[in-house]
Amino acid sequence: MGVFAFKLPDIGEGVVEGEVVEWMVKVGDSINEDEPILSVMTDKATVEIPSPVDGVVKSIVGEPGTILAVGQVCIEFETDGESTPVESKEEEEEVDEESVEEIVDVEPEPAPKAKPKSTPVVVSAPGTRPLASPAVRQRARESGINLSTVSGSGPAGRITHADLDSWKDAGSPVAAAGPSRTALTGTTEIPVIGLRRKIAESMTESYSTIPHFSYFEEVDITDLETLRLHLNSTKNEDQPKLTYLPFIMQGLVKALGENPVCNALYDDEKGVVTRHDAVHLGIATQTERGLYVPVVKHVEAQDVWESASEMQRVSQAARDGTANLDELSGSTFTITSLGRMGGLGATPIINKPEVGILGVHNAVDTPVVRNGQIVVRKMLRLSSSWDHRVVDGWDGAVLVQRLKTLLENPATIFM
């Protein structure tokens, strides 16, 4: 028997360290080569690390939340071969990029029933969505299990396949119906790790280093709504259903092209602003794992149908956990949509190193005055934030007003 010491591999994109999100194995487990063993969060994405060998897990390094350096031994296996102290198979054979450079949040196949764990379990509070991977959710649906009644033993109370097994072994308990009238005193501590920690760090850096100013506007999209409904009613089967966002994306192509100071990245360490001719739009997307910003590249080369298709594709990839690093980087401007949540306004935080962000609220039938008469029009509110070191208040207002004019006269978007 030998011992194989496996180092955290070089994931690429200049990544020098990663945060342990979840170990998919434990000491004593038998594992086959290429089976997933570890989920790691980098600055760019969450990646799944496969086993380099067949063997039995001898030791692992780091609990969820631990930062591991690239090249640091993270797990040791007992193998049939000779000992390879502090050697990584990556030095002999490159890891398959497709299996590494991919965002994943998929639990391994249902494992043998787990032994009792000492990890504290967390039960979802009433009215909240239980934390679980798509694979676990699918298995629960197929088994008729209500995830809100299952205790999660994974990171931050995440429900695993083993938790489903334990729930079944306990006789499928059912949560009591009706609201509780008993005073509650319990608390749950949730470590800020993984993507949530990255979001916290990114938002703190952006808001503490960028002097934000915000600008709000209301847009009459009654004519745009008429056009949108017409296009959806006459579209081909292969064409996606249009929302307002693809029109806004096309409008931004024109507005940003006329105001290039707003389509830029600011390297504050070097003191250099890089203006971009291409329009790469980040689309802020809420997922079960937190906020991701997949990117629609080269919107300036697309029509409204292509923008809609690509936006839907990258957003769904982010939700499914299948978006790659390229699809999650390279934006020059970001759109964040509150959709049906609506709201009167917001102050979106800039996606650093970009210099602006546009918030889109829901469209509401609103009484307004036109030619001295009160009429009902469909109104859409926009909220924007700008980096005042680079974008003057006038420039931000000019861009939003140009976008307003385009959306209120939708034919001009395509001229």
Do the domains 2-99 and 214-414 sit in the same CATH topology, yes or no? Answer: no
What fold is seen in the domain 127-171?
Dihydrolipoamide Transferase (4.10.320)
In CATH, the architecture of 214-414 is 2-Layer Sandwich (3.30)
Question: Which residue would you say has higher pLDDT here, 407 or 122?
Answer: 407
pLDDT at 198: 85
Question: Which of the following is catalytic: 54, 268, 320, 388?
Answer: 388
User: Which tokens sit at 50?
Assistant: 């496969």
Report domain extents, the chain: 2-99, 127-171, 214-414
**Is this prediction's pTM over 0.75?**
no
Quick check: is 388 catalytic? yes
pLDDT at 315: 96
Question: Which of the following is catalytic: 96, 326, 365, 392?
Answer: 392
pLDDT at 144: 81
Reported as a single tens digit per residue, the pLDDT across 84-121 is 654 444 444 443 444 333 333 444 455 454 444 444 55
pLDDT band at 167 (very low <50, low <70, confident <90, very high): confident
Question: Which residue would you say has higher pLDDT here, 176 or 405?
Answer: 405
Q: Which CATH number fits domain 2-99: 2.60.40.420, 2.40.50.100, 3.90.180.10, 3.40.50.300?
A: 2.40.50.100
